[in-house]
Amino acid sequence: MPQLKAHLKINKNFCIEEKPGDTILVVFGASGDLTERKIIPALFNLYQKKLLPKKFFVLACARTKLDDISFRDQIKSSLMQTNYQGTQDVLTVFCNLFFYLSGDYHDPRTYADLSLLLDKTGKKNCNLLFYLATPPVVYDPIVENLGKAGLVKDCHEGIFYPRVVVEKPFGHDLSSALELNAKLRDILAERQIYRIDHYLGKETVQNILMFRFANTIFEPVWNRQYIDHVQITVAEDIGVGHRAGYYDKAGHLRDIFQNHMFEMMALVAMEPPASFEADRIRDQKTEFFRSIRPVQLTDIVRAQYKEGIIKNTVVPSYRQEQGVPPDSVTETFVAAKLWVDSWRWHDVPFFLKTGKRLAKGFSEIAIKFKHVPHSIFGPIHSVDMPSNELVFNVQPNEGIALTIQAKYPGPKLCMSTLTMDLFYKDVMETEMPSPYERLLIDCMLGDQTLFIRQDEIELEWGLVDPILKSWELEPSVRELKFYPAGSWGPAEADELIGSEGRCWHRQN
């Protein structure tokens, strides 16, 4: 297929990057994987870009016994294993922003020590950010103890107020999400709670809003009249890795579908918000979730990977992975057909597909437009002409691709499909920031636009909960399909989309 390389002229019309007010970040679970691989590298990038506030400290808390010096040494050696090319001095200055506190999350003395440390670092006129980077079992005791220690009191005035960042998973079904929300809301105001879905920090995902609402040419065709269907794919070629303990209990529907997939779907399909304010956008997302029709069990396929070949290497089946029970019935793949009951999307199917150990790792949103209503190019019929496609490439090569039909030079009638690919990395002449950079800065700024509101998360769980319950109660509907690792999923997923006369966008 001929590729058209885009030549872009970029004028930065309008560009805001606010620097947040002075901040103290308290990370619980600071000895863990998320802190090491995501939070600290993101903070280091922000530090190098001079985007951190003038006064900024991190109080790292965990049960592991360490002191400031040994924790700083750990961070330093971990950052040196990334492709950092700068000087040791810069690393040292950055690592000196970290202080370490060890303690039990259930013990009030931990919070008394924390309070003393916060006083010592001078918390007055600072944003206090508490990041829960621990397993979810301790979210509740941490917040309760922060409340008892008077550390998360909302002052209801001024720009400095304590905030709590809550990692996913937020609950494991509707009732546990309701319970966690109730516990958090007992102690915190909604404006203090930052429920993270790191997909919302990805540039392409954020760009969906600008693409739709900063251009006039797309919104008029963004509806059932012009769009045939929408496909959202989150495909991983990796297996369960070291996460079997959590993943085997959760399954893929909870791990990816309930959050990342629904969030991307909402941004693509919600109505225009009145403004780019957090609650105006989140109002429209919740309204959209209300319009998703309850998913029919016949419209969802659950499957698990068997042994297969990926990148010329034989990889084991899910049941053979370390930490997975040999008789596990946990799904590693979900495909579903969803309908949206609204004027805009009536009769437009949304196909969502996500799985582990698939042929390629990528995430994308593909908007498939309708065929032209009539062909003037006989003998080609309108249904034989490929329809236009617009694809948001979410990862790994973030960008946008638009396909159009065009005349191929030469013969009198020779139609070809051109793809206009805009890879952000190539055309924007800037490094793509990690999602955690954007999200951490937004927490410091008090901007909740990219975070999930209480009603939003409850509506998402409300859509997934009946499926989970049916899978638990009725083994016949829970029936697990299998697919070889390195394939595009089970045949039943192809049948699901095939039954609507469509096929998956990228399966080659």
Q: Which residues are catalytic?
A: 260
Own/partner pairs, 469-476, CB within 8 angstroms, 24+ separation: 470/297, 471/302
By the 8 A CB rule, do 22 and 53 touch?
Answer: yes
One DSSP character per residue, 370-398 reads PPPSS-SSTTS-GGGSPPPEEEEEEESS-
Segment near ligand NAP (CB under 6 A); pick from 12-20, 161-169, 201-209, 327-335: 161-169
Amino acid at 271: E
Q: Which two tokens stand for residue 473?
A: 């109660």
Label each residue of 237-290 as H, E or C. CCCCCCCHHHHHHHCHHHHHHHHHHHHHHHHHHCCCCCCCCHHHHHHHHHHHHH
* Site residues (CB under 6 A) for ligand NAP, limited to 332-361: none
239 counts as binding ligand NAP under rule CB under 6 A? no
Member of 40, 59, 62, 184 binding ligand NAP (CB under 6 A): 62
CB of 70 to ligand NAP, least distance (A): 13
Closest distance of CB 170 from ligand NAP, Å: 9
Taking CB under 6 A as the criterion, the residue among 3, 4, 18, 33 binding ligand NAP is 33
In angstroms, the CA 311 to CA 485 distance is 11
Out of 45, 74, 110, 134, name the contact with ligand NAP by CB under 6 A.
Answer: 134
Closer of 21 and 169 to ligand NAP (Cβ):
169
21 or 136, CB closer to ligand NAP? 136
Is 464 in contact with 258 (CB distance < 8 Å)?
A: yes
The window from 61-69, 269-277, 368-376, 472-480 that contacts ligand NAP (CB under 6 A) reads 61-69
CB distance 45 to 433 below 8 Å: yes
Residue 148 belongs to what H/E stretch? helix 139-148
Q: Which of 47, 113, 136, 206 binds ligand NAP (CB under 6 A)?
A: 136
Backbone angles phi, psi at 261, to 5 degrees: -65, -45
Within residues 469-498, the interface with ligand NAP by CB under 6 A covers none
Residues 68-97 close enough to bind ligand NAP by CB under 6 A: none
Is 64 an interacting residue with respect to ligand NAP (CB under 6 A)?
A: yes
Closer residue to ligand NAP in complex, CB, 177/292: 177
Let me know: does 146 contact 192? Beta carbons within 8 Å. no
Q: Can you name the residues that pair with 100 across neighbouring β-strands?
A: 60
| From 6, 79, 97, 138, residue interacting with ligand NAP (rule: CB under 6 A) | 138
Least separation in angstroms between residue 451's CB and ligand NAP is 14
Answer whether 319's CB lies under 8 Å from 482's CB.
no
Choosing from 167, 203, 389, 421, the residue that interacts with ligand NAP (CB under 6 A) is 167
> Between 211 and 246, whose beta carbon lies closer to ligand NAP?
246
- 202 binds ligand NAP per the rule CB under 6 A: no
Q: Are 380 and 406 in contact (CB under 8 A)?
A: no
* 137 part of the interface to ligand NAP, by CB under 6 A: yes
Q: Using the rule CB under 6 A, is 67 a contact of ligand NAP?
A: no
Is there a contact between 434 and 15 (Cβ–Cβ < 8 Å)? no
CB of 196 to ligand NAP, least distance (A): 8
CB atoms within 10 A of CB 433: 17
Map the footprint of ligand NAP across residues 97-126, applying CB under 6 A: 105
Q: Which of 46, 133, 440, 496 binds ligand NAP (CB under 6 A)?
A: 133
Phi-psi region of 264 (alpha: psi -120 to 50; beta: other; left: phi over 0): alpha
Measured from the CB atom, the residue of 62 and 440 that comes closer to ligand NAP is: 62
Q: Could you say whether residue 63 binds ligand NAP (CB under 6 A)? A: yes
Among 168, 160, 162, smallest CA distance to 195 is for 168
CB-based contact 99:72 (threshold 8 Å): no
Cβ nearer to ligand NAP, comparing 238 with 414? 238
Shortest reach from residue 99's CB to ligand NAP, in Å = 15
Instruction: Find the binding residues for ligand NAP in span 13-32 (CB under 6 A).
Output: 29, 31-32
Tell me the C-alpha to C-alpha distance, in Å, between residue 16 and each of 9, 12, 13, 206, 391: 20, 10, 10, 15, 27
Residues in the interface with ligand NAP (CB under 6 A) total: 21
Q: Which residue is nearest to ligand NAP (CB)?
A: 32
Sites of contact with ligand NAP (CB under 6 A): 29, 31-35, 37-38, 62-64, 105, 133-138, 167-169
